[in-house]
Amino acid sequence: MDESFEILLNSAKNIASVNVDVYEKIELTNKTSEILEYDIRNALSATEVFDAEREANPIYRIYGRVEYLSLLNGLKQNYKYLSDFFLQQTTNVKNIFNSFDFYLVRPAPSGYTNIMNGTGKTLYWSRVFEVIATPENFEIYNAGFTTNVYGDQIYAFNFNKDFDVTPYVDNFGFPPTELYLYAIYKVQQLGQISPRSETMLGTTWSWGSTGIVETKSPALYNPSTPFVVGDMIHGDLIEYGKSIFLQSEVATQKYYINTPYSGTSAPIARNLQWKYNPFIPFRLRYFNETLNRANTGTTSYAQSISIPYYATSLGNGNYVWRDILPQGYTEPLTGQGVDYPFVNKRRYLFAPIILDIKPNLEDAATLAAFNEIKYPVPTVLNTKPINDLNDIGKPCL
């Protein structure tokens, strides 16, 4: 049988005590609440959270390593004889620091030039790039304890600002998959052949009787005026397929450097011509190989809202696009994919690149000059090579 208990107020126990309510009040309410897919008892996946944050983040920090390969590297600033291009100097030399200005550019939102064949059909487009960072944002320095196979110094570089690629779209509405390092050679006045100086040429394209024709144009480069953010620079040649949502490079931009020098057997000045590609790509991401199609009038609502903002309209409600491959995923068939570190709300893009300047042997004067170079006759060894192949299996003596 249960015993009865009497609860005394605190004031009945002690005159200085304060009476308190010993019962907990429960408030009954009637309001709607959202039912969450996961409750607090579910285990949180750090990998899923990391992937979601990385995919939603469009900010890149770009740095890397550059290997500079050129006969012009390490030479004296002025050329007088052909031999000057092959004699390394120790003071007042040309190098990557004083021979180039570096910019970061992206495919411009407008300004592409279409190149049509004789029937008026557009086949190719001359692409334009927009400057988004100047040499003030670019840092380059000697990489510690690092040389290439030729014993030449390798350099490290870094852009000291972040790049949010969210607002970037090109002439056809494509989101950016690449940014480009623009390396512009700085021509010099050559004192001993006054008033001659180094000159620069760029490449333009047009349609000729046999197809695409390349032309060297001096109008593409103005050495006296540095570029600023927002300036447009003539780029490469691409092919655009609207119905298949695809752009592909047909021809790279080539810059030509004319370096005058005096011939040893004649007082007239001669030229050597060099060439290089000034636009070096930094891969941000890849498009999927699979082409997606949808029609806003015949597909379901779920399919319609899945059409991305960059999809290309073909008219009558038809759209085509390719999905952007997620970070960390590699296509099994093509091997395409990127997996950049994601720290402090930034993707850190490391780019190992090669900047090479080659003699243009398609230029008659340059070819003739290099044909004059005489190399020593190698010494022929008449001794028979010594090896132990015939002694295999025989007892040791």
One DSSP character per residue, 30-58 reads: -------SS-TTSPP-HHHHHHHHHHH--
pLDDT exceeds cutoff 80 at 120: no
- Say if residues 329 and 337 touch (Cβ distance below 8 Å): yes
- Say what the pLDDT of residue 91 is: 80
Instruction: Band the pLDDT of 1: cuts 50, 70, 90.
Output: low
- Say what the pLDDT of residue 126 is: 94
pLDDT exceeds cutoff 60 at 266: no
Q: Which of 107-116, 154-163, 335-344, 367-376 shows the lowest mean pLDDT across its residues? A: 367-376
Kindly report the number of other CB atoms within 10 A of residue 383's CB atom.
5
Residue type, 259: T
Distance of CA 320 to the CA centre of its chain: 26
pLDDT exceeds cutoff 90 at 171: yes
Tell me what the mean pLDDT of segment 329-356 comes to. 92
- Say what the pLDDT of residue 123 is: 78
- Say what the pLDDT of residue 151 is: 84
Largest CA distance in the chain: 131
Residue type, 6: E
Tell me what the mean pLDDT of segment 97-118 comes to. 91
Domain ranges of the chain: 46-288+324-371, 290-323
pLDDT greater at residue 38 or residue 200: 200
CA distance 240 to 243: 9
- Percent with pLDDT over 70 in the chain: 83
Q: Which of 29-38, 52-61, 383-392 shows the lowest mean pLDDT across its residues? A: 383-392
- Say what the pLDDT of residue 240 is: 92
- Percent with pLDDT over 90 in the chain: 47
The winner for highest mean pLDDT among 117-121, 128-132, 184-188, 329-333 is 128-132
Instruction: Band the pLDDT of 122: cuts 50, 70, 90.
Output: confident
Tell me what the mean pLDDT of segment 364-369 comes to. 90
What's the pTM? 0.81
Tell me what the mean pLDDT of segment 283-306 comes to. 81
- Say what the pLDDT of residue 268 is: 64
Instruction: Band the pLDDT of 338: cuts 50, 70, 90.
Output: very high
Instruction: Band the pLDDT of 132: cuts 50, 70, 90.
Output: very high
Beta-sheet pairing, 59-70 with 346-359:
parallel
- Which stretches does DSSP call E strand in 196-278? 199-208, 211-217, 232-241, 246-251, 255-262, 269-276
- Say what the pLDDT of residue 37 is: 65
- Say if residues 260 and 198 touch (Cβ distance below 8 Å): yes
Measure Cα distances from 157 to 100, 137, 349 in Å.
Answer: 13, 11, 12
- Say what the pLDDT of residue 388 is: 65
pLDDT exceeds cutoff 60 at 27: yes
- Say what the pLDDT of residue 50 is: 87
Q: Which of 58-72, 140-154, 380-394 shows the lowest mean pLDDT across its residues? A: 380-394
- Say what the pLDDT of residue 183 is: 95
pLDDT exceeds cutoff 90 at 386: no
For residue 241, the cross-strand partners are 246
